[in-house]
Structures are given as C-alpha cells and as structure tokens.
Structure 1
Amino acid sequence: MILLVPSDVLRPRRADDHFAAEAAAAREAGMEVALVDHDALTTPGGADRAVSRVRGSGEAIYCGWMLRSEQYAAFAEALGRRGVTLRTSAEQYRQAHELPGWYSRLAAVTPESVWTVGGDRAGFEKACRELGAGPAVLRDYTKSMKHYWHEAAFVPEVADADSAWSVASRFRELREDMAGGFVLRRFERFVSPEVRTWWVDGVCRVTGPHPDTAPEMPGTGLDLTAAGPLITGLRLPFVTADFVLREDGVWRLVELGDGQVSDRPRTTPPEELIGVVRGRGGAITGGTAR
C-alpha cells in the first residue's frame, strides 16, 4: 500500500505541512509514501508530471487537497501508466465527491435537494420551482460558501426569484471554479455541532468532531440506525459522512465526501486514521456513537 501526499510547494522533496503528520504515521506503519505535485494535478495535461516521483507498484491511497472529478480521473490514469492503482476508482471518487452521485441513495436521511447542470439563471429558476417555496441552502456539486452565509449560501425564500438569484450570482462570483452546477437544499434547523465519521469498505471506523468545530461534540450520541445501512449500501472504499442533530432530535446527513480529500480533525491522531485506512484495528470513537 502506497500513501500519496502533496509535496510542499517550496520544498518539493518534502510533504506539504498540512499532511506531514499522515506521511510520518504511514512511514512508521511500514507504508511506502510518495509525493505528488498538486499544482500539476490541477493543471490541464499535468497529471503525468504530477506523479513523476511515484515509484513502486500496487495499490495506493491519496491523502491530500481536493481535486475535481476530472482531475482525479487524470490522476488515476497517470498512476496506472506507472503500475499504481488507486484503491478508489475515478467513478467511485465522483460518486462520493459530487452530491448528485450519492443523493438518490441517501435521500431519506439528508435534506431534500435539487440541482442544475451549469450556472445559468434559467436552470436555477427551474430548480427553485422544483424545490418549492421556503428557505434553502445553496452550494454546488462539491462545496458550499458557508462562510459567506447571508450573501452566498442562505436563500431565505426560493420563490422570490430576484432575491434568490442575487444569492446565486454572489455564489458564482465567489466560486470561480464552480463544480457541476447549483444545488439547492431544503433548509432544516440544526441544533448541534457536526460529527465527522470515516467509513472504510462500508464500515464506520472513526467517529469524531468536524474539523471546523473540533474539539466540540454534540451532547447526544450519534445514532446511525437509519443512515448506516444506506452508506454501507453505496459500496464505496473510503468515505466520510458528516452528521448534525435537527431540532426535532433526528440525526441528519449533511455531507458525504471521498475520504481521501476530507480533512482530519486534529483531535484524531494520524496514526489511528492510517491504521483504519490500512484495514487494521477496531472502530475509533472520538465521541459517542451507537
């Protein structure tokens, strides 16, 4: 098993500081670690150059910055030409990374959502009509602009076409590299910090705080009774799922993502995450789960 991590921009023979702990933990566990050039990965035609330092052959897992689905596909192809196979295929990455890939299978446990193909106003207004009146949260296939909540994320009333489009326009302005199209999600009122869970081959192996709110955890134990079998049914090798408690006491899935590009909260030791990625050890709980 090879762990692939981004190299430091200024010191290309060293791991990027953000992923240095994972690289060190992998080496300590006996894994081979190889560096990839993230800037080259995000440059059209740069995938082969990005993996030029990768040696050896066999299965690999990536731990790094987010990649668009088409960039990941080029990454996988370039590695394949060197005899290295990513554990997560390009198709599996797209399914986990983009909301339209996972939504239909998980619709029962996540806010109602509709989306567009592209960023034009006609498609956006059609999606608003499909969702129906009421407040919504705006994002694209892979990311929200939640730190710009009132200007580029929260739509107070989707039936107010001009006001809703104003939020969408600001989102598109801020998200210059918008992925796929607009996604409108029915607004639900949440009352707890988020919980990040890590799933390996359909099994929840790590439970802990979300990186944005670590070390804060909900006072109520996470209940995976409804969502767990649905996530397992996706048959994806390595994903994260973020949950939050709704005001009526129901746990809701707010995001599914590919585990390779999901940030690790500093409260979860890198050695433990590397251990479960390799398929060793029991479930790790940084909070309460049942």
Structure 2
Amino acid sequence: MLLLVPSDPLRPNRPDEHFAAEAVAARAAGVAVGLVDHDLLVRGEAGRAVVKVPAGGDAVYRGWMVRGERYAEFVEALGRKGVSMRTSAEQYRRAHELPGWYGGLAAVTPESVWTAGFGREGFDRARERSGAGPVVLRDYVKSMKHYWHEAAFIPEAGDGEAAWAVARRFVELRGDEAVGGFVLRRFERFTSAEVRTWWVDGRCALVGPHPDTPDDVVEPDLGGVADLVRESGLPFVAVDLVRRDDGRWRVVELGDGQVSDRPTGVGAEALIGVLLSAG
C-alpha cells in the first residue's frame, strides 16, 4: 500500500501537520508515504501536485476534501505514474456527494430532496417536494451546522421567504466552496452524540467518536445499516450515525473515508491498520 497525504504548505517536503501522525504510523507499519500538493490539486494542476509521489503502487489518500472533478484529475495524473487508487473517481464522487449515496441508504437516513445549482427557482421547487415542516439545509457535501439558526435550520419549509433567507445565508457562507446544489433534509430529533464508523470493502472495521464530540463514546447498533453499506460497493467510507428519539439509529452522513476527518480519540495507528486490513 502507498499512503498519500498533503504536504505542509510551508515545508513541502514534510506531511501537513494534520496528517503527520498517520504518515508516521504508516511508515512504522512499512507503508511508503507520498506527498501531494493540495493547493495545486484544487487549482486543477494535478500533474504538478503529484510530482513527489513515487511511481507504482496501490494508493489510498488521506487528506483534505477535493471536488469530484479534481479527484478525477488526481486519479488520472497518478495513473500516468503507474499508481492505482483503490477508490476510483466514480466511487469517490458517489461517496462524497449526497445524491450519490442517498438512494442506497434512504431507509435509514432523513428524507432528502435536492437541486442542481443554487438558484431561487430550484430551491422553491425543492421546498414544495419536501413538504411542510422543519428541514435542515446543506449542499451536496457539507452543511453549515455551526451557523445553525442562520444557515442550516429551516423551521418551516412552507414559509418561502424565511426559508430563502436561510438558503441565501448558506450560499454566502459557503461561497466558492459550495458544491452541486441545495439539499433539504427532513428534520429529525436525535438523542445521542454522533458516532463515526469506518468501513473497508463493506465491513465495519472501526468505531469511534465523531470529530465534533471526541469525548463522547457511544456504541451504535449497526444492524440496520450494515447490509446497505456493504451493498453500496464503496471501498473505504466513513458513516456517521446517531440515535433518533424513537431509539432507531440513523445515518447522518456517508463520506469517502479518504477525506473524512479522524477524531482525536481514534489513534493514527488504528486507522492505518484499518487500511492495511483491506482484502
């Protein structure tokens, strides 16, 4: 296995500090580490971004989020060096963007509708499809939950002007990082902290806290989601779960494991061990 991590912007021959522990753990386990220039990658210069990646190998990325189209360029540039990514461009996009994974998990995640783009007309059509009641707003990859009342929570989807005010603020805050379009998710009441689970080839290999609540350790019931995650055919994903007020465990998010943050309560060695367990 070859582990790819972002390089430090100020010290380009070293891993970015956020991923340095994983690089150290990988090398201790006998895994080669390659450095990727994230700034060049997101600017569309994938060929230059992977100059320091050694040729050949079966690679896994652990780094910052990139758009689906940039990841596809990343895979292509690495392929020219004989490096094969475990997660294809199609698989990355399907895991990274909600419209890609929602269908397979619809039974265990809040009801959702989405738009193509961030215009008012499409937003209003989505509101009508969603129906009356409270919803949570996000785009294809991220919410603004830390701005809950101004850019995430819509108390009544039927109130067009108030809902659009939240949507407009969401776009202002996300700016150029907004991806795909609006997603309106039916609001559900939860009674536990979120749990981040890590899945390799459809098998849950690691359970830990969510990065936002690293001290809250909760043991989830995976019975309702295990088969659905396995059937997705995605090689490496993180699935965030939370218990609803009726006791059922719900999927808050599925994301590509390569760009899902590792909570402080999960050791770098544990995550590298998960990646080495593939196959």
By the TM > 0.5 criterion, same fold? yes
Superposed displacement of residue 126, structure 1: 0.1
CA displacement at 1:215 relative to structure 2: 1.6
Corresponding residue pairs, total: 278
Structure 2: distance between partners of 1:280 and 1:162:
49
Aligned to 2:53: 54
Letter in 2 for 1:240: A
Match of 2:245 in 1: 247
CA contact (8 A) 2:200 2:278 kept: no
TM-score of the superposed pair, with normalisation by structure 1: 0.94
**Matches for 1:156-235 after TM superposition, within 5 Å:** 156-176=155-175, 177-218=177-218, 221-235=219-233
The residue aligned with 2:144 is: 145
Alignment of 1:1-290 (within 5 A): 1-44=1-44, 46-176=45-175, 177-218=177-218, 221-279=219-277
- Report the Cα distance in structure 2 between the residues aligned to 1:110 and 1:272, rounded to whole angstroms: 27
Shift of 1:280: 6.8
Give the letter aligned to residue 250 of structure 1. Answer: R
CA distance, structure 2, for counterparts of residue 80 and residue 139 of structure 1: 33
Change (3 A) 1:78 1:280: closer
User: Runs of 4+ in structure 1 displaced over 6 angstroms?
Assistant: none
CA distance in 1, matches of 2:115, 2:231: 26
- Quote the Cα distance in structure 2 between the aligned partners of 1:237 and 1:278: 12
Q: Which runs of 5+ in 1 are unaligned?
A: 282-290
Shift of residue 24 of structure 1? 0.3
| Normalised TM-score (structure 2) | 0.98
Cα offset, 1:60, TM superposition: 0.3
C-alpha separation in 1, matches of 2:206 and 2:33: 22
**Aligned equivalents of 1:67, 1:201: Cα separation in 2:** 22
Shift of 1:56: 2.5
Could you tell me which residue of structure 2 aligns to residue 284 of structure 1? none
Q: CA RMSD in A?
A: 1.0
Structure 2: stretches of 5+ with no match in the other structure: none
Matches of 1:280 and 1:47, distance apart in 2: 26
d(CA) in 2 for partners of 1:56, 1:271: 25
Letter aligned with residue 278 of structure 1: L
